[in-house]
Amino acid sequence: MIVKRLIPGQDLKRALEEVRDKNDLKSGVIICMVGSLDKTVLRMANGDNNIIDGPLEIISATGTIATDGVHIHLAVSDSEGVVTGGHLMNGSPIHTTVELCILTSDKTFKREFDPETGYNELVVKDTQK
């Protein structure tokens, strides 16, 4: 398991990619993420980006980290307690901290384009092969 504290000003998505790269991570699953953001950019189910100004509390985060991409769904709450969720995009700077726990696997996760969905989707490969 990788446990890491991310610091103020880091872009959350880019920081996750840096953790992956520095740890030579072939596959990871987010099992815990708590902290706060100055703002966030979330892609909604219809494909539109939603920019939410903060400060925001991370309420929930789940997803996978692959050798060539991260796929994180994030729920955040504003100062009124209103919760918004979606697909994490670049442009989400950390406010005070993000505490992160990533479970690793003996498989290799890759993201490959799927013409049916129009997105890069998860492909799981045996590391031994």
Q: Is the pLDDT of residue 126 over 90?
A: no
Lookup result for tokens 């993420």: 33
Q: Is the pLDDT of residue 129 over 60?
A: no
> pTM of this prediction?
0.87
**Ordered domains of the chain (ranges, CATH):** 2-126 (3.30.1330.80)
For the chain, the distance separating the N- and C-terminal CA atoms, rounded to the nearest angstrom, is 23
- pLDDT tens per residue across span 52-103: 999 999 999 999 999 888 999 999 999 999 999 999 999 999 999 999 999 9
* Residue range 23-44: mean pLDDT, rounded: 96
**What mean pLDDT value characterizes the chain?**
94
Q: Is the pLDDT of residue 29 over 70?
A: yes
* Three-state SS letters, the chain: CEEEEECCCCEHHHHHHHHHHHCCCCEEEEEEEEEEEEEEEEECCCCCEEEEEEEEEEEEEEEEEECCEEEEEEEEECCCCCEEEEEECCCCEEEEEEEEEEEECCEEEEEEEECCCCEEEEEEEECCC
* pLDDT on residue 48: 95
pLDDT tier at 128, thresholds 50, 70, 90: low
**For a pLDDT cut of 90, what percent of the chain falls above it?**
80
* pLDDT on residue 114: 93
